[in-house]
Amino acid sequence: MLILEHDAKEILHSSGVPVPRGVLAASPGVAPPFDGPCFVKVQIPAGGRGKAGGIVRAETTAEIEAALKRLLGTRIKGHPVRECRIEQAVGDAAEAYLSLAVDPVSGGIDVLLSATGGVEIESAAGRESLETGRACRDPGAISATVAALADNLPDPVRGALIDAGGRLADIFCRLETTQIEINPLLVGPNGTWIAGDAKMIADESAFVRQAVFAELVRARAGSYPEAALKLAQDFDYVELDPDGEIGLVTTGAGLSMQLIDEMLEKGVRPYNFCDIRSGTFRGDPGRLIWTMQQVARGTNVRGVLVNIFAGVTHLGELADLLLQARAAVPELTVPMVVRLVGNGLDEAKEILAAADDPPILEVDLEKAVDLLVGTPA
């Protein structure tokens, strides 16, 4: 889970990492408790905010308010802007780069650093300047790798990167993150440094041990809706494409991803991903209702595909819960195609067929998709 910049900096600051002063603003009337120039930065789970117009420099309170009015409520890189961080500008400083990330294949820690940071790291010259190494997940090993990679760099950048590497290595391992990236890492003439920007990716499977992330998600559920849902109800839901055409009510993470791939191959844009875990319904349609409510928000959704492979839940019970959920979400008026596999299919067919406005039942998945996307079966 990508931690928003403001929250990442708060977490880093609490562990001794220097960060610029900043406050979170969800409305235009927020004034920062500091003077001087600052940056108004949209808080969205995506990089490249500056190039997309999501970072604005402001010199006065009036300019801060104008920037907030312009940014809040918009969409940048496909994400709604609900909050901005107002951050005090840092004086003249060199820009360096430091990243620690888990290699998904080996499980080792990839260490990347450079005396060049900021947007320049994305250029060909910037990429060529990267020093790279790998360490095991141990603070001492990571710190030693950073020191070795930075050894040939000029001071004061060298010393700043080594110090930053030591601090971040401890946080990276202690919080079981999968990535911490500081870009730019701002270095003053005397060697002091500050995290100009911060990217942190938390491992959701470690939330049971990492209270800092679980508490963050619960406290700021509006900023982390998918993670909050998983914590509260133990199922997965992700909005994939705000302009998606087909809403999905599905179970099985692997099957759901396969279905999404098949839809994309047909040129159809799925609105969401979900794994509602039908085996834990226990007679409660709550998950189905919540998922349908989310799908109903899609302005371009023209159909809903229900794909349930039930191992524990009897399909007769599931069909009844499905009808209860649909009745509870009258705003979901688009056609619904239901594909069910499992025990009790005949009973489920009878229950669905007896509904006042029965959904379309199709046991063949490809035909079910075709019914919604308009492709001849």
CATH number at residue 56: 3.30.1490.20
Report pLDDT for 376.
41
**Domain final residue pick, 68, 88, 108:** 88
Same domain, 73 and 107: no
Q: Are 200 and 180 in contact (CB under 8 A)?
A: yes
**254 and 318 share one domain:** yes
DSSP string, 254-317: HHHHHHHHHHHHTT--B-EEEE--GGG-TT--HHHHHHHHHHHT-TT--EEEEEEEESSS-HHH
At residue 129, the pLDDT reads 85
User: Does residue 217 fall inside a structural domain?
Assistant: no
Which H/E stretch holds residue 194? Answer: strand 193-195
- Residue 368 falls inside a structural domain: yes
Distance (Å, whole) CA 40 – CA 25: 9
Query: What is the domain-level CATH number for residue 110?
Result: 3.30.470.20
Tell me the C-alpha distance between 269 and 293, whole Å. Answer: 19
Q: Are residues 128 and 76 in the same domain?
A: no
| Continuous H helices in the chain | 5-14, 61-71, 124-128, 139-150, 157-174, 211-219, 225-233, 253-265, 286-296, 315-328, 345-353, 365-373
Could you tell me the CATH number of the domain that includes residue 325? 3.40.50.261
Count of domains observed in the chain: 3
Q: Do residues 291 and 244 both lie within one domain?
A: yes
Q: Are residues 83 and 98 in the same domain?
A: no
The two three-digit tokens of residue 373, written as one number: 């996307």
Residue 1 lies in a domain: no
> What is the model's pTM?
0.74
Say what the pLDDT of residue 279 is.
64
Looking at the structure, tell me whether residues 245 and 364 fall in a common domain: yes
Show which of 88, 105, 132 is a domain's final residue.
88
- State which of 40, 69, 88 marks the end of a domain: 88
Please check whether residue 39 is in contact with residue 228, taking contact to mean a CB–CB distance below 8 angstroms. no
Q: Is residue 112 part of a domain?
A: yes
360 and 255 together in one domain:
yes
Instruction: Output b/e per residue, 339-363; b: 16+ Cβ within 10 A.
Output: bbebebbebbbebbeeeeeebbbbe
- Give residue 123's pLDDT: 72
List the domain range (segments joined by +) for residue 104.
94-202
Residues 297 and 270 placed together within one structural domain of the fold: yes
pLDDT in 10s for each residue of the chain, 377 residues? 999 999 999 999 999 999 999 999 999 989 899 989 999 999 999 988 988 999 999 999 999 999 999 999 999 998 899 999 999 999 889 999 999 999 999 999 999 999 999 887 877 666 788 999 999 999 999 999 999 999 999 999 999 999 999 999 999 999 999 999 999 999 999 999 999 999 999 998 888 899 999 999 999 998 998 888 778 777 788 888 989 999 999 988 788 888 899 889 888 899 999 888 766 667 788 889 989 999 999 999 999 999 988 766 788 988 999 999 999 999 999 999 999 888 888 999 999 999 988 999 988 888 888 888 774 43
- Say yes or no: 195 and 249 in one domain: no
